[in-house]
C-alpha cells in the first residue's frame, strides 16, 4: 500500500506513521526526519535545508523532491511505503506522481488527513520531545517517557526541536494553511482522501486510522 499522511505540524503524523507502518510492514519515509539527520551529519543537503527549517519555511521543492526520488528508488519501498511530511504542496504532489510513474510504481492509494485544531497543535508541539537516536516522538504531558528525557524504546536522549517554539509554530501553521492545505482538495478530487479526527488518545487515533484504511480497501 502506498500511503501519504497530511496534516498540520503537530497533528500526530509522525506518531501515527510509526504505528501504521509497523502494522502494515511498510517503510515510513519522513522528509523531516531525513532533513534533520542530514543537518546533524552536516551534509550538503543538511546545509541547504537548515535555514528554511529553522525559519519554519518549506525547503525548496527541487531539493526535497530529489531526496524523495532517491529514497523511493530503494528496494524496501517497492512493496509500498508511508510518506510522512511529503508532499507538502501541490507542485510536490504532481512531482510525486511523476516519480512513481518513472520508477514503474502504481500511484498513491490513500491520503490520510489528520484533522486537529490550531490550539491543540500548539499544545502538542510545545511539549514534543524527540529521541536523538531513533526519532521516536514523546510528549511531556500526553505521552511521557518513564524516565524524563530518556527514550523508553532505546535509552536515547530526548531533545526539543528548535522549530517547536511558539513564534515558529505559528508561522508553520500559516505555511500549512497556504501551501499544504490545498492538497486536501487535490487528493479528494481523485477519491483518494480519508479525513480523520486526530483528537483524543494516540491509541484511539491509531485504531480509527487502521479501521478507515481497512474500510477504504474493502
Contacting positions for ligand ADP (CB under 6 A):
7, 9-15, 31-32, 35, 52-53, 56-59, 64, 85-86, 88, 92, 124-125, 127-128, 137-139, 142-143, 163, 172, 201-202, 205
Residues with catalytic function: 13, 88, 128, 161, 172
| Shortest CB 109 distance to ligand ADP, Å | 19
Query: Considering the complex, what minimum distance in angstroms separates the CB of residue 67 from ligand ADP?
Result: 9
Shortest distance (Å) from residue 218 CB to ligand ADP: 26
CB of 190 to ligand ADP, least distance (A): 19
Residue 108: which region, alpha, beta or left (left: phi > 0; alpha: psi -120 to 50)?
beta
Which residue's CB is nearer to ligand ADP, number 2 or number 172? Answer: 172
Q: Which residue lies nearer to ligand ADP by CB, 164 or 218? A: 164
Distances from the Cα of 99 to the Cαs of 8, 89, 130, in angstroms? 24, 15, 30
Instruction: Name which of 113 and 143 has its Cβ closer to ligand ADP.
Output: 143
Q: How far apart are CA 126 and CA 157, in angstroms?
A: 18
- Exposed/middle/buried for 196, CB within 10 Å: 0-12, 13-18, 19+? buried
Q: Which helix (H) or strand (E) holds 20?
A: helix 13-24
Residue 152 Rama label (left phi>0; alpha psi -120 to 50; beta): alpha
**DSSP state for residue 85 in the 8-state scheme:** S
The residue number whose beta carbon is nearest to ligand ADP equals 32
Closer CB to ligand ADP, residue 71 or residue 124? Answer: 124
Amino acid at each position: 500500500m502506498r500511503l501519504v499522511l497530511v496534516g498540520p505540524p503537530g497533528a500526530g503524523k509522525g506518531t501515527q506513521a510509526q504505528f501504521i507502518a509497523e502494522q502494515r510492514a511498510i517503510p515510513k519515509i519522513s522528509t523531516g526526519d531525513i532533513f534533520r539527520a542530514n543537518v546533524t551529519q552536516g551534509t550538503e543537503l543538511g546545509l541547504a535545508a537548515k535555514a528554511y527549517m529553522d525559519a519554519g519555511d518549506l525547503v525548496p521543492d527541487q531539493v526535497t523532491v530529489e531526496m524523495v526520488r532517491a529514497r523511493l528508488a530503494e528496494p524496501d519501498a517497492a512493496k509500498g511505503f508511508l510518506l510522512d511530511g511529503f508532499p507538502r504542496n501541490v507542485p510536490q504532489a504532481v512531482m510525486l506522481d511523476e516519480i512513481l510513474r518513472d520508477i514503474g510504481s502504481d500511484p498513491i492509494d490513500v491520503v490520510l488527513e489528520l484533522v486537529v485544531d490550531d490550539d491543540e497543535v500548539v499544545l502538542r508541539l510545545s511539549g514534543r520531545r524527540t529521541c536523538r537516536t531513533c526519532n521516536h516522538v514523546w510528549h511531556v504531558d500526553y505521552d511521557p517517557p518513564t524516565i524524563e528525557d530518556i527514550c523508553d524504546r532505546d535509552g536515547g536522549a530526548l531533545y526539543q526541536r528548535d522549530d517547536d517554539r511558539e513564534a515558529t509554530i505559528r508561522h508553520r501553521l500559516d505555511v500549512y494553511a497556504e501551501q499544504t492545505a490545498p492538497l486536501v482538495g487535490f487528493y479528494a478530487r481523485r477519491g483518494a482522501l480519508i479525513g480523520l479526527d486526530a483528537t483524543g488518545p494516540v491509541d484511539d487515533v491509531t485504531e480509527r486510522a487502521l479501521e478507515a484504511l481497512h474500510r477504504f480497501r474493502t
